[in-house]
Amino acid sequence: MRPSSIDPAVRLRWREVLHSAGIKCTEQRLAVLCELEHAVEPVSHREMLARLADYHWDPATIFRNLNDLCDVGLVRRIDVGDHVWRFELRSSEAERAEHPHFLCVQCGTITCLHEVAMNEALGPLRTSQPTLAVEEVLLKGKCPTCHRPA
């Protein structure tokens, strides 16, 4: 997607979101947010570079912008244990909107379990250990493709 191809209404909406988060609205941040909005799964830095290849931006700049967006709470960083940060838009709604992730141990696919709320997923743990600040719930197993019996 070229910078000019971002819809003016979308541009305006993200500009307001960035301003209320207290950071400047830059072309890089706009492009990153638009890509994350269209992604169905968390996006790694490498995948983000591929998506934004048309812009010819410096990889370090993109990485810095992803982290800036995390710092102000607009984007969530996920590490499923493979030492690769993946990024996704953080829901602006209540904490309930945060969701666990499922990692396929065979093909490495990550699925957002949008239909499971974090509170639900933690259930009894949260009541017995109310002081725990859980930031990530990760389930591991096999995705439907890998789970098929041979």
Please tell me whether residue 121 binds Zn ion under the rule CB under 5 A: no
Cβ distance to Zn ion smaller for residue 19 or 147: 147
**Cβ atoms of 109 and 41 closer than 8 Å:** yes
Q: How many residues bind Zn ion (CB under 5 A)?
A: 7
Site string for Zn ion, 127-146 (x = CB under 5 A): ----------------x--x
Question: Which helix (H) or strand (E) segment is 103 a member of?
Answer: strand 101-104
The single-letter DSSP state of residue 123 is: T
Cβ distance to Zn ion smaller for residue 97 or 107: 107
Least CB distance to Zn ion at residue 8 (A): 28
Sheet holding 138-141, edge to edge: 110-112, 101-104, 138-141
- By CB under 5 A, name the one of 58, 106, 129, 136 that touches Zn ion: 106
Give residues with Cβ within 8 angstroms of 107, minimum separation 6: 143, 145, 146
Cα–Cα distances in Å, from 39 out to 42, 49, 57, 112, 150? 7, 14, 20, 11, 31
- By CB under 5 A, name the one of 25, 84, 104, 122 that touches Zn ion: 104
- By CB under 5 A, name the one of 18, 52, 88, 102 that touches Zn ion: 88
Least CB distance to Zn ion at residue 21 (A): 20
By CB under 5 A, name the binding residues for Zn ion.
88, 104, 106-107, 112, 143, 146
